[in-house]
Amino acid sequence: MKEWTQAFLQSLENKNFSPHTLKSYGEDLTDFTAFCAKRKIMRPAEITPGVIRSFLSDLSSRHPARNTILRKIAALRSFTRYLVEKEQLPQNPFKLLPSPKKEKLLPKFLTAQEVDRLIETAGEKGRFSARNRALFELIYSSGLRRSETTGLKISDVDFFNGVVKVLGKGNKERIVPVTDTALAALRDYLSTRQNPQPHDALFLNKNGTPLTGDGLAFLFKKLAVKSGVARKVSPHSLRHSFATHLLNNGCDLRSLQEMLGHKNLSATQIYTHVSLEKLKSVYQHAHPKNKESEQ
C-alpha cells in the first residue's frame, strides 16, 4: 500500500501540485494506510466501499472539522481513481458513496487598519525589514496564495507594466496587477540583495535559499502577533483581505475571480457574504428606525 501511495504522490508532484497540497495529501493517506494496516488490509485491491465507510466512521469519531474530513475524502478519491487507472482496483469504491456537504465558513480577513499595522510592523528596522515589507505588500496588493508567493522568480515581476506573473493551481498562469506601493517595496528589497539575477527566487530566507511556504507561515504568525492581531490568522488571510476590500470598494465579481485565479465563480461568491455582513452592520447603525428601537 505504501509503495502505491508514494507513486500516487509522485504523480501529483509531476503535475506541479503545490507543496502544501502534497503535504496535506501525504498526511491524509498516511492516516488511511495506518488504518488499513491495523485491519490487515495490505493491498490496494482490498479497498472496498466497506473499508472506506469504516475509515470515515473512525475518522468521524475523532471529531475533526467537517472540512478536514472533506479534504481527506478528496485525497482518498484521487488516490482510488489513480489505483483504478493503474488497474490495482477493479472499480472506484467511492462510486456509490455520498460525500458530506462542505461547511460554508466565511473567510477570515483583516481590516484595512490591521493590514496597515501588520505591514508597518513587518517594515520595522531590522535585518529582514525590507524583505518582510515587500513580502506582505505584494500578497495584499495582488491576493496571492502562499505557494504562488514563494514560487515567484524576480523575472515574474514586471515593474514597467505594474503586474506580476503567477503560477497558480493546476499549473495555470495568470497576470495580476501590483500596486505602486508594493512595487516600490520590492525595489527597496531587491536593492539589498547582492547581484540578484532574473531567474533567482524573489524571496529568500535567512540562509539565502528560497523562502518556503512553512517559512512564510511562521513569519506571518510572528508578525501578526507582534502587530496586535489577537485572532488566529494566516498568510491566506491577506488574500482574503485583498478580495474583501476590493469587493467592498466596488470591484466586480468577474474581475475578482480573474485576479484570484478561481476556476469557478462560485468560489469567488463567498466574498459577497462577507460584504453583505458589512452592509448589514452599516444598515443597523445608520437606519433611523433602528436607532429609534435602540433608544
Is the same domain home to 80 and 217?
Answer: no
For residue 33, what are the domain limits? Answer: 2-85
Is the same domain home to 81 and 119?
Answer: no
Structural domains of the chain, count: 2
Greater confidence (192 vs 276) lies with 192
Determine the pLDDT at residue 190.
97
In a domain, 146, yes or no: yes
Q: What is the mean pLDDT of residues 60-87?
A: 85
Is the same domain home to 30 and 174?
Answer: no
Is the same domain home to 49 and 147?
Answer: no
The 10s digit of each residue's pLDDT in 102-151 is: 555 566 788 889 999 999 999 998 899 999 999 999 999 999 999 999 99
Phi, psi of 231 (to 5 degrees): -90, 170
Percent of the chain scored above 90 by pLDDT? 46
Count of beta carbons in the 10 Å neighbourhood of residue 204: 17
Q: Rounded CA gap, 30 and 111, in Å? A: 38
38: which 3 cell numbers?
491495523
CATH of residue 14: 1.10.150
Is the same domain home to 184 and 238?
Answer: yes
CATH of residue 190: 1.10.443.10
Determine the pLDDT at residue 162.
95
Q: What is the mean pLDDT of residues 65-81?
A: 85
Q: Rounded CA gap, 7 and 211, in Å? A: 27
Q: What dihedral do alpha carbons 275, 277, 278, 280 form, nearest 10°?
A: 120
In a domain, 99, yes or no: no
Query: Known catalytic residues?
Result: 145, 169, 236, 239, 262, 271
The 10s digit of each residue's pLDDT in 219-236 is: 999 999 999 987 888 888
Residue 276 Cα distances to 87, 247, 266, 281, angstroms: 49, 10, 16, 9
Residue with the three cell numbers 466565511: 106
